[in-house]
Amino acid sequence: MGNPLCAAQAKAGFAFPADVTSMSEQFDFDTQAVRAGIQRSAFNEHSEALYLTSSFVFRDAAQAAARFSNEEPGYVYSRFSNPTVTAFQERLAALEGGEACVATASGMSAILACAMGLLKSGDHIVSSSSIFGATVQLFATVLGRFGVDTTFVAGADPSAWTRALRPTTRLMFLETPSNPLTEVADIGALAAIARRAGAVLAVDNCFCTPALQRPLALGADLVIHSATKYLDGQGRVLGGAVVGRRDLVLDGVFPFLRTAGPSLSPFNAWVLLKGLETLRIRMEAQSQRALALARWVEAHPRVERVYYPGLASHPQHALAQRQQSAGGAIVSFDVRGGRAAAWRVIDSTRLLSITANLGDTKSTITHPASTTHGRISAEARAAAGIGEGLVRVAVGLESVADLEADLARGLDG
Ligand SMILES: *Cc1c(COP(=O)(O)O)cnc(C)c1O
């Protein structure tokens, strides 16, 4: 066996046949992206098998009892153990450099599972205010009803995090780069603050993915993913994951998932496994296109300001250069003239898809103030710097010239 990840997961209720070989220490990122987590069935299929089954059968009653009590490793029921889901978990854990990984039904259920698995009533969260709109809602509204308080701070200002700490602070949460303003926070500095405070540092690594940034290597305890975005990369399925320290993932988050059931479907896990194979190639190509588009947008007279970590004008450009291997594929910009002007740019496109999703090979365009961030209060939006003229483009794999022409129609008009 010789694989600590497998041993730990078997202990927590996952199950692995004994011949699994961990590849994480032997192979580079590109190799792991294609091959980590593969475990062939008796048929020796080449492509990852899709185990579309809700349960697993036992030889006899005694084996069923042994499986249920965790005395014998083996699969039981797909709410908490399925070989295709295990393969996705192992591959993502290898790419993030994490000790353990659990997959979830969506990015939001990954964040919920972290909170429910690691926090109790009376605990306190410090969170960047520049995070996904639904995450703000989850912390402020849902968790608030269960006695978990959240203080929102400027993510890029480490001293604001320190000031917000309380003796009950148990979780520090951020996205970097953030959605939609691509604000970059210093993961290493925040990890040091979290360590001193005895809090868990969780980083939503949605915008960079492990292809461009590895938060665990920078000191974070947990990485959160909306696999719906770049890990799939082609806009097909919902999924999520929590990766990181074994004790937090397997003793904290996993028991909640097993009991409450926001589980990743084996079919979605299979799609996501295929997405991971091309992750780095896509992230690099989309980042390259995003940088070219950001430079073009920045030069346009109708554009007041561009938010892209790869531009020298970005307030945390130097930090992004250190922390990320490329700028990512999200380019946001303020159009002069507020909501009417922003909507004109969006409505004049013929190529870009008007949708709030991101992480697709097809470029998308959205107006955050009225979509992704429409349900938070106007004050909270203003505090997060999301103006009425803000447009967010998630750059895909089309030609940059075609994307520029598509945006020029609304900007020039
Ligand atoms: C989309 C998104 C989420 C939520 O993920 P779902 O899969 O839609 O539940 C969380 N964080 C970020 C940064 C996102 O973009």
d(CA 380, CA 127): 13
Is 266 within 8 Å of 50 (Cβ atoms)? Answer: yes
Cβ(229) to ligand 1 under 6 A?
yes
Q: For the full predicted model, state whether its pTM sits above 0.85.
A: yes
DSSP state for residue 31 in the 8-state scheme? H
Residues with Cβ within 8 Å of 402's Cβ and at least 6 positions away in sequence, in order, are 351
4-277 to CATH, choices 3.55.50.30, 3.40.50.620, 3.20.20.70, 3.40.640.10: 3.40.640.10
pLDDT at 12 over 60: no
Which residue did the predictor score with more confidence, 132 or 12?
A: 132
Residue 23 has pLDDT above 70, yes or no: no
**What pLDDT is stored for residue 18 in this prediction?**
28
Question: Is residue 119 within 6 Å of ligand 1 at its C-beta?
Answer: no
Ligand 1 center to 257 CA (angstroms): 18
Q: Which residue has the tokens 């996501």?
A: 272
Would you give the distance in Å from CA 127 to the centre of its chain?
16
- Say what the pLDDT of residue 381 is: 83
Give residue 308's pLDDT. 98
Closest-lying ligand 1 atom to the alpha carbon of residue 109: 9
Average pLDDT value for residue range 372-387: 82
Q: Please report, for residues 15, 63, 64, 250, 395, the alpha-carbon distance to residue 76 in angstroms, rounded to integers and kept in the order given.
A: 8, 11, 8, 17, 41
Phi, psi of 344 (to 5 degrees): -65, -40
Q: Is the CB of 221 under 6 A from ligand 1?
A: no
| Nearest-angstrom CA–CA distance, 123 and 261 | 23
- Across 173-194, average pLDDT: 96
- What is the Å distance from ligand 1's center to 214 Cα? 18
- Whether 296 and 355 have beta carbons less than 8 Å apart is answered as no
177: preceding bond cis by omega (within 30 degrees) = yes
pLDDT band at 383 (very low <50, low <70, confident <90, very high): confident
pLDDT reported for residue 140? 95
| 108 C-alpha to ligand 1 centroid (Å) | 6
Q: Is the pLDDT of residue 24 over 90?
A: no
Confidence label for 9 from pLDDT (cuts 50, 70 and 90) = very low
Q: Identify the pLDDT of residue 372.
A: 84
Q: What is the mean predicted confidence (pLDDT) over 91-102?
A: 97
- The CA 361 to ligand 1 mean position distance, Å, reads 17
Amino acid 25: pLDDT: 63
Starting at the edge strand found earlier in the chain, the sheet holding 303-307 runs 303-307, 330-335, 390-394, 364-366, 353-354
pLDDT band at 21 (very low <50, low <70, confident <90, very high): very low
Q: Is 240 helix (H, G, I), strand (E, B) or coil?
A: strand
| Bridge partner residues of 334 (DSSP) | 305, 390
**What gap in Å lies between CA 109 and CA 325, rounded to an integer?**
28
Task: Report how far residue 230's alpha carbon sits from residue 211's, in angstroms, rounded to the nearest whole number.
Answer: 10
Report pLDDT digits (tens) over 301-333. 999 999 999 999 999 999 999 999 999 999 999
- CB of 78 closer than 6 A to ligand 1? no
pLDDT value at residue 342: 97
Least confident of 162-171, 190-199, 366-375: 366-375
Hey, where are the domains in the chain? 4-277, 281-412
Which architecture characterizes domain 281-412 according to CATH? Alpha-Beta Complex (3.90)
Burial of 198 (0-12, 13-18, 19+ CB in 10 A): exposed
Rounded Cα gap, residues 162 and 366, in angstroms: 34
Residue 215 scores a pLDDT above 60? yes
Structure tokens at 394: 């998630």
> pLDDT of 339-355, one tens digit each?
999 999 999 999 999 99
